[in-house]
Amino acid sequence: MGHGWEGAVLKLMRGKDFAFTVTGSEQITENYLRLHFIDGGMLRATGVHPTMWVRLWFRHEGKPHQRAYTLVDPDAAAGTFSLEFALHDGPAANWARAAKEGDRIEATVQGTGFTAPEPRPERMFVIGDPASLPAINSLLASLDGTPATIWFETPEDSDRELPFRVDPVQHELHHVERKDDGAHLVSTVKAALPSLLADPANAYVWIACDATTTRTLTGYVRKELGVPKQRVNALGYWRAAA
């Protein structure tokens, strides 16, 4: 299918197009689904890096619509990977619910990248939610050996059962109920983080929540706590409905 003006822009930015084939699915919780794919030659062409993501193309009201998803367990030699979907109402989740073995979906790789913090932080501070869980797991694996404190927003009770890849020795995981459109997560992090942040210059703060929460927390850790820009990685993964 055509990808409209977004696809044209990505082409100008040297985006690479591929087609993935579904090979299976796993219902992790009632609101979280993992799909397995053959990569259509993508991983051999692009290589693999931590938190690597792709843009999947869907149709919505007759128009092309793209959403980004982080690869889970990419295997370049086998040409396989998985994607995880936090299920809600929308074209991406609706497609994932109905996907079956042999279904194909078009994708574009553009904009993804990862630079490990140097020097290694004494501790990472990670703030996310179900939409960013695959990236959180990939981040923790890539910086194996680095302690981490994680605040994970849980919109649903079942989110506590999600496939976290945390090491109880290295990683401290806090579930935070989603309340007040993310304001509860913001207040929870603000109450805890200052006493944990021994040296802002040697910290690493990774934030990936809804756009408003991400923006608020990014401003807080940079302006009020003094964490240098290069030690903060922040991206709004989704926008709350008005």
Residues 95 and 145 in one domain: no
Q: What is the pLDDT of residues 92-138, one digit of tens each?
A: 999 999 999 999 999 999 877 888 899 999 999 999 999 999 999 99
Question: If we measure between CA atoms, which residue out of 224, 231, 225, 222 comes closest to residue 203?
Answer: 231
Residue 6 confidence (pLDDT): 58
Q: Find the CATH number of the domain harbouring 128.
A: 3.40.50.80
Q: What is the pLDDT of residues 186-211, one digit of tens each?
A: 999 999 999 999 899 999 999 999 99
Which stretches of 2-103 are DSSP H helices?
4-12, 42-46, 91-98
Bridge partners of residue 70, in order along the sequence? 53
Q: Find the CATH number of the domain harbouring 88.
A: 2.40.30.10
Residues 173 and 228 in one domain: yes
Residues 129 and 105 in one domain: no
Instruction: Determine the Cα–Cα distance for residues 177 and 186; give it in Å rounded to an integer.
Output: 11
SS3 content of the chain, % helix, strand, coil (to 5): 30, 35, 35
Instruction: Determine the Cα–Cα distance for residues 125 and 117; give it in Å rounded to an integer.
Output: 13
Residue recorded with tokens 């690597």: 52
In eight-state DSSP terms, residue 225 is S
Number of compact structural domains in the chain:
2
Instruction: Determine the Cα–Cα distance for residues 147 and 203; give it in Å rounded to an integer.
Output: 11
Residues 164 and 104 in one domain: no
Determine, yes or no, domain membership for 114: no
Residues 171 and 85 in one domain: no
Give the confidence band of 172 by pLDDT, cuts at 50, 70, 90: very high
Determine, yes or no, domain membership for 204: yes
Residues 43/76, Cβ–Cβ less than 8 Å:
yes
Give the confidence band of 7 by pLDDT, cuts at 50, 70, 90: low
Instruction: State CA 136 to chain mean position distance.
Output: 7
Residues 56/64, Cβ–Cβ less than 8 Å:
no
- What is the reported pTM? 0.90
Of the residues 109, 137, 170, which one is the last residue of a structural domain? 109
Instruction: Determine the Cα–Cα distance for residues 241 and 238; give it in Å rounded to an integer.
Output: 9
Query: Judging by DSSP bridges, how do beta strands 148-154 and 124-128 pair with one another?
Result: parallel
Q: What is the pLDDT of residues 25-36, one digit of tens each?
A: 999 999 999 999
Bigger pLDDT: 191 vs 241 = 191
Of the residues 65, 84, 109, which one is the last residue of a structural domain? 109
What range defines the domain where residue 202 resides? 124-234
Tell me the average pLDDT across 209-216: 94
